[in-house]
């Protein structure tokens, strides 16, 4: 099973550039998780809502042109599954009217699988937005734990808007305490790992630096690789043996984020 997550920073913009169609054709993932789709289905082209090879699910923000998430799943993959259901909520989490969670569940073999595409809040608009971000973090972790307790296989991917350690950000000292690298956010990632979840890429690359998933476009930071690793896949630590490959696709342009690809046996 190949899953790719990508904050596209506007799925229609990436489509217009020609990057999306080329990317989909090249990667041929079983599931694509998208964040910041910035649009509603009625605004999308036929390619974005009636693809030949993929069923396309979206959770759009109530505010048009803002946030939103989506999941594309290959039709040939879905054909081997049962009880396919699309969900759009995490219980009691704030900001859900911003389309921050897309959740596809299905039964494959004897297991129920839950795949979540999540766009975590930035939290920088106000003190209230910051508090809501921390609540959102905790509600997502609760939801992950609840699904796992039910015996499900859980995969969470997306833009989590936090760099965990100094190895995940170019200028750690300059950004220490700032949103995106705040101790409270980083402590949440600690709690996720302590709860038995695996930061898949970091577990496979424990000491690697200078690999990022986001760069500021205004300052052309990508050209200098001045970045942040804020896009993740989390799975149950017991699933680590299933990981065949995990990689940031740094050569893929079209957004201020690059995609992250995960292959499970």
Q: Render pLDDT for 20-74 as a digit per residue (tens, 0 to 9).
A: 999 999 999 999 999 999 999 999 999 999 999 999 999 999 999 999 999 999 9
Which residues are 243's β-sheet partners? 264
Phi, psi of 187, deg, nearest 5: -65, -30
Query: How deeply is 18 buried, as exposed, middle or buried, from its count of CB atoms within 10 A (0-12, 13-18, 19+)?
Result: exposed
Q: Is 142 a catalytic residue?
A: no
Number of domains making up the chain: 1
pLDDT at 35: 98
Q: Which domain covers residue 73, as residue numbers? A: 2-264
pLDDT digits (tens, 9 = 90+) for 186-238: 999 999 999 999 999 999 999 999 999 999 999 999 999 999 999 999 999 99
Angle at Cα 24 formed by Cα 19 and Cα 25, nearest 5°? 100
| Arithmetic mean of pLDDT, 7-14 | 98
CATH number for 228: 3.60.10.10
Q: Based on C-alpha coordinates, what's the Rg of the chain?
A: 17
Distance between CA atoms of residues 217 and 168, nearest Å = 18
Residue tagged active-site, from 30, 159, 168, 236? 159
pLDDT at 137: 98
Please name which of 216, 249, 213 lies closest in space to residue 229, comparing C-alpha atoms.
Answer: 213
pLDDT digits (tens, 9 = 90+) for 91-145: 999 999 999 999 999 999 899 999 999 999 999 999 999 999 999 999 999 999 9
| pTM metric for this prediction | 0.97
pLDDT digits (tens, 9 = 90+) for 132-187: 999 999 999 999 999 999 999 999 999 999 999 999 999 999 999 999 999 999 99
């Amino acid at each position: 099973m190949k899953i790719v997550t990508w904050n596209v920073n506007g799925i229609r913009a990436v489509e217009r550039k020609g990057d999306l169609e080329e990317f989909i054709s090249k990667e041929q993932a079983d599931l694509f998780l998208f964040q910041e789709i910035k649009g509603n289905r009625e605004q999308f082209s036929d390619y974005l809502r009636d693809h030949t090879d993929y069923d396309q699910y979206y959770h759009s923000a109530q505010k048009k042109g803002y946030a939103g998430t989506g999941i594309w799943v290959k039709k040939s993959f879905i054909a081997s599954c049962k009880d396919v259901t699309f969900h759009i909520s995490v219980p009691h989490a704030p900001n859900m009217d911003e389309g921050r969670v897309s959740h596809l569940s299905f039964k494959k073999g004897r297991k129920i699988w839950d795949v979540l595409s999540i766009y975590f809040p930035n939290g920088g608009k106000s003190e209230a937005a910051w508090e809501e971000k921390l609540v959102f973090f905790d509600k997502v972790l609760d939801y992950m734990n609840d699904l796992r307790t039910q015996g499900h296989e859980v995969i969470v991917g997306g833009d989590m808007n936090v760099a965990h350690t100094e190895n995940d950000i170019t200028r750690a000292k300059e950004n220490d305490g700032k949103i995106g690298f705040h101790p409270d956010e980083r402590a949440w990632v600690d709690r996720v790992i302590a709860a038995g979840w695996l930061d898949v890429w970091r577990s496979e690359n424990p000491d690697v630096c200078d690999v990022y998933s986001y760069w500021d476009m205004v300052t052309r930071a990508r050209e200098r690789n001045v970045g942040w690793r804020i896009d993740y896949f989390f799975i149950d630590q017991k699933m680590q043996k299933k990981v065949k490959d995990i990689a940031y696709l740094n050569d893929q342009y079209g957004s201020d984020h690059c995609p992250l690809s995960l292959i499970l046996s």
